[in-house]
Chains A and B, each alone.
Chain A
Amino acid sequence: KQEVTQIPAALSVPEGENLVLNCSFTDSAIYNLQWFRQDPGKGLTSLLLIQSSQREQTSGRLNASLDKSSGRSTLYIAASQPGDSATYLCAVSGGYQKVTFGIGTKLQVIP
């Protein structure tokens, strides 16, 4: 059974700092990995999707990497802003129906 862990559970940083969020998974036989952002009381917004054949994906100030062999993914946020404050979740897909979510990292960026 796939298990997904996100560390840290919460993170508070000053504005402008670069930061890294971690996601680890136990079964390396994955299809893809997706990073989401969730604002309080809202749905999940997709940030980046990395297919199993890819090493990284970039979108603006966000960069996500994937190392299947070690069961790890990182989400790098450059020059953090208060608007980046949210909970970030990773989801690991083992197929069309087998998707496992982490509990998330709650990020607070302090002005």
Chain B
Amino acid sequence: SQTIHQWPATLVQPVGSPLSLECTVEGTSNPNLYWYRQAAGRGLQLLFYSVGIGQISSEVPQNLSASRPQDRQFILSSKKLLLSDSGFYLCASLQFAGGSNYGYTFGSGTRLTVV
């Protein structure tokens, strides 16, 4: 089974500072990887997904970017944080084989507060 490591667990950053959140996956190869943001009282918003190394798709135009330098590594970045970037960020991996989707596995999340 897969395990997703996500760090840091909490982060407080000033407005205008850079951001780097990292996610690594164990127990699978060539997964689809996702970054979601969850705001209080709202559903999960898909930010980016990747189907392979160097392949990034953005779902929402915003102040953030993503990169996938290795098969099981997914990074969320920002050059200058905004107050509106505060939220709970979740990395997820989608397990599939033979054309079948075996569901998501999520990391433990990063609580980002921009002050």
Query: CA–CA, A41 to B111, complex, Å?
Result: 8
A102 adjacent to B43 (CB under 8 Å): yes
Task: For B46, list chain A residues within 8 Å (CB).
Answer: 99
In the complex, A31 has a CB within 8 A of chain B: yes
- Asked whether B74 is an interface residue with its Cβ less than 8 Å from the other chain, the reply is no
A interface majority secondary structure = strand
| A residues apposed to B, CB below 8 Å | 4, 31-32, 34, 36, 41-46, 49, 51, 89, 91, 93, 95-97, 99, 101-104
Number of residue pairs A-B, CB distance < 8 angstroms: 55
- Nearest CB to that of A4 among chain B residues? B43
Residue of A nearest to B109 (CB): A43
**Contact residues, B56-105 vs A (CB, 8 A):** 57, 88, 90, 92, 94, 96, 100-105
B35 contacts the other chain (CB 8 A): no
Please name the 5 residue pairs, one residue from A and one from B, whose CB atoms are nearest each other, closest first. A49-B103, A44-B106, A43-B108, A43-B106, A101-B44
The answer on a CB contact under 8 Å between A42 and B109 is yes
Cross-chain contact A97 with B57 (CB below 8 angstroms): yes
Whether, in the assembled complex, B24 has its beta carbon less than 8 Å from a beta carbon of chain A, the answer is no
If A43-B90, A43-B109 touch, whether A51 touches B100 (CB-CB below 8 Å) is yes
In the complex, the answer to whether B103 meets A96 with C-beta atoms within 8 Å is no
A103 B101 Cβ-Cβ under 8 A = no
